[in-house]
């Protein structure tokens, strides 16, 4: 089981609370969107949830085990994490970049074992990257790189996937496609946690929504219960209307 839970998590930076007694539960097979204005602590929450940042207080449990007690390598083979606007530092090929997602599974020396090739090809295909596989990663457009990074994150079939702003820089078609892939991962039993600014996208794909404001939990629960006019108005300090048509939700800011 890969149920991820944060209990009473607090984190200070320079005397300021970045996260203050946040409780959140991310169930296996569910896609949770973390929303909130800039500086609300979304990225920090994701880093804490990924076990990359140790909170000053509180506990993060992955499958009932404290996440800091899990060896980094084992944790890495279960959980994939993608920060906001990731960069490639060297001009490696897209295929090699995606293969880096398999690092925890590889021995310390030697080349990539051939048995991983199908997984790499699959990840490239899922994010429409087959034509770009030999392209150097530093010569990709922002959206292409974002897709390559997503493919890198999912290539090892993680059971917990944490992604910070995956749709930033993607064109509508690829944003839709990336969202569909994340949804499919959750439907396959993976715990998916995604920080999102695009609330329409959140409404479309998320099962649960966690709303953060100023490092505190404003609301958490099923998407339909959190993505409501009053909660979003309080979250963003501006009037927000939520309109539902059939199964579609549209969220409008302003009067």
Secondary structure class of 94 (helix, strand, coil): helix
Interface with another protein, residue 80, by CB under 8 A: yes
CB of 42 to another protein, least distance (A): 15
- Which of positions 148-187 make contact with another protein (CB under 8 A)? 149, 152
Q: Which residues contact 110 (CB under 8 A, 6 or more apart)?
A: none
Query: Which residue's CB is nearer to another protein, number 76 or number 182?
Result: 76
> Could you tell me which stretch among 16-24, 58-66, 86-94, 241-249 binds another protein (CB under 8 A)?
86-94
**The dihedral sign for the CA sequence 218, 47, 180, 190:** negative
Strand pairing partners for 22? 9
Asked whether position 143 contacts another protein by CB under 8 A, the answer is no
CA distance linking residue 203 with residue 231, whole number of Å: 14
Interface with another protein in residues 100-119 (CB under 8 A): 100-101, 103-104, 106, 108-109, 111
Q: Which stretch binds another protein (CB under 8 A): 57-65, 80-88, 216-224, 230-238?
A: 80-88
Radius of gyration of the chain (CA): 18
Region of 188 on the Ramachandran plot (φ > 0 left; ψ -120 to 50 alpha; else beta): alpha
For binding to another protein (CB under 8 A), which residues are involved?
47, 50, 52, 72-77, 79-83, 86-93, 96-97, 100-101, 103-104, 106, 108-109, 111, 136-138, 149, 152
């Amino acid at each position: 089981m890969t149920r991820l839970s944060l209990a009473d998590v607090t984190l200070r930076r320079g005397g300021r609370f970045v996260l203050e007694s946040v409780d959140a539960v991310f169930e296996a097979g569910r896609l949770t969107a973390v929303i909130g204005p800039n500086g609300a602590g979304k990225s920090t929450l994701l880093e804490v949830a990924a076990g990359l940042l140790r909170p000053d207080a509180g506990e993060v449990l992955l499958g009932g085990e404290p996440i800091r007690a899990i060896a980094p390598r084992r944790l890495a083979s279960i959980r994939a994490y993608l920060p906001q606007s990731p960069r490639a530092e060297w001009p490696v090929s897209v295929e090699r970049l995606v293969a880096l997602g398999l690092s925890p599974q590889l021995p310390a020396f030697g080349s990539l074992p051939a048995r991983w090739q199908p997984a790499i090809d699959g990840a490239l295909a899922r994010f429409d990257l087959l034509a770009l596989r030999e392209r150097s990663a530093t010569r990709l457009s922002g959206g292409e790189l974002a897709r390559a990074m997503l493919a890198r994150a999912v290539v090892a079939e993680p059971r917990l996937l944490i992604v910070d702003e995956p749709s930033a820089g993607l064109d509508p078609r690829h944003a839709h496609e990336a969202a569909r892939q994340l949804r499919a991962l959750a439907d396959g039993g993976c715990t998916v946690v995604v920080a999102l600014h695009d609330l329409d996208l959140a409404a479309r794909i998320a099962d649960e929504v966690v709303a953060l404001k100023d490092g505190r939990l404003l609301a958490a629960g099923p998407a339909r219960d959190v993505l409501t006019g009053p909660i979003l108005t309080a979250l963003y300090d501006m009037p927000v209307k939520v309109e539902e048509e059939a199964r579609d939700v549209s969220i409008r800011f302003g009067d």
